[in-house]
Structure 1
Amino acid sequence: MRYNDYRFLGSTTLSNGLLAYYPQLNIDDAEMMVIIQLEMFAQKNNFFPTNEQIAGNTNFSVTEITALIQKLIEKDLIVIAQVTDKNGMIGNKYNLNPLYDKLDQLLENKTLSANQKMPVKKSETAIDNSPLNQLVRQFEIEFGRYLSPIEREEIAAWLNVDHYDPAIIKLALREAVLSQAYSLKYVDRILLNWQRHNLKTSSEVQKFLRRNR
């Protein structure tokens, strides 16, 4: 089987923030591999893969996978939640929200720490939750790094010069991440393309995307 054949198995989207900072969340490499496997299965709509299925994709035994999942649960990084399907049948699913909540908190603390090292004017403290700062934080989470001052200025120009709706910028960021293109230039091309199609609201963009998938 050639590489091109394996490409049809699809791909798994992971946050660069998670890949960059998982050691700071007290996650070791073995536990991270299990998280990657859980994400892969979830993105294929299998939200409760068996330990045998997970082990089959790794170099770990079923016993080792069982122990690793238990460690992730004990660290409050994943939980097993009950779900009810459309037929009323009760089942289980792995919920990774606690993991991403901790990642959000970690990145937020890093942003605050970085800001504390810089002199801040009193008038600037009132805009911490401005659309610009919210977008910058979202980009940093997805890119897994801090943005440069020039990149912040480019996002500010999208808002203040091009007058893009913040919701549309977030949709463009999502499309870039799905394409594994982590650059503002790629996001800008997406925004320009939508502008050429006269798409001005997030609902118009979403309809456009559904038509062109």
Structure 2
Amino acid sequence: MKKKIMIQWFEQGSIAIPKLLMIHYRKMGLNEIEFMVLLHVHTFLESGKTFPTPDEIADRMTISSVQCMEVLRTLVQNGFLMIEGSQKDGALCESYSLQPLWEKILQLLMNETISEELEMQQQLENSLYSIFEQEFGRPLSPFECETLTMWQDQDHHTPVIIQTALREAVLSGKLNFRYIDRILFEWKKNGIKTVEQAQQYGQKFRANQTRNSAPMRQETKYTGKVPFYNWLEQ
């Protein structure tokens, strides 16, 4: 639906398509002559002339009408340009449509966005391994690496949430994978999906732990040790 709406915007000239073409035409497999022919077709369409002839397009360029006709044929064959037919006053009328071109531009931009997201995700994952190894003070075991992968691929926890769970385990004085797994399980069960939600949930949990252990602390002497909060007792 969004794709269709954007194509309609393109058709209405509300987006600077020539700029998009200028930036991406080479990546789309177009050469300079094909790019200019498409640009001239776009200009004709915006001015209300829906089916300019090769002569009319070639008059604005340094190529012959024959060359222009061949370029137009190539653009149609390669899916950059489309010829549409319609009835007007009982006669068949033809017109050019740049919708295939807009679709190719959108697909290119979507693919680039996906590639950037995957690259960023990979960087986050690599960074996550480094953060765990730094916090544990040693290289992770194969089982621990597999657990990290499982949290992301099977349990669909984001690297940021996993890192937040690691911090929570450090605060609780329980730096081990079983404990972190329990934290992630509790968060998922309670619909925790963002860092802010996780931090709020952790604060409430520690507050409850503190209240529950208050009477015991009054009967014992201060030892100077920092209390830890046990998520495994949930």
Give the alignment's TM-score, normalised by structure 2: 0.45
Give the alignment's TM-score, normalised by structure 1: 0.49
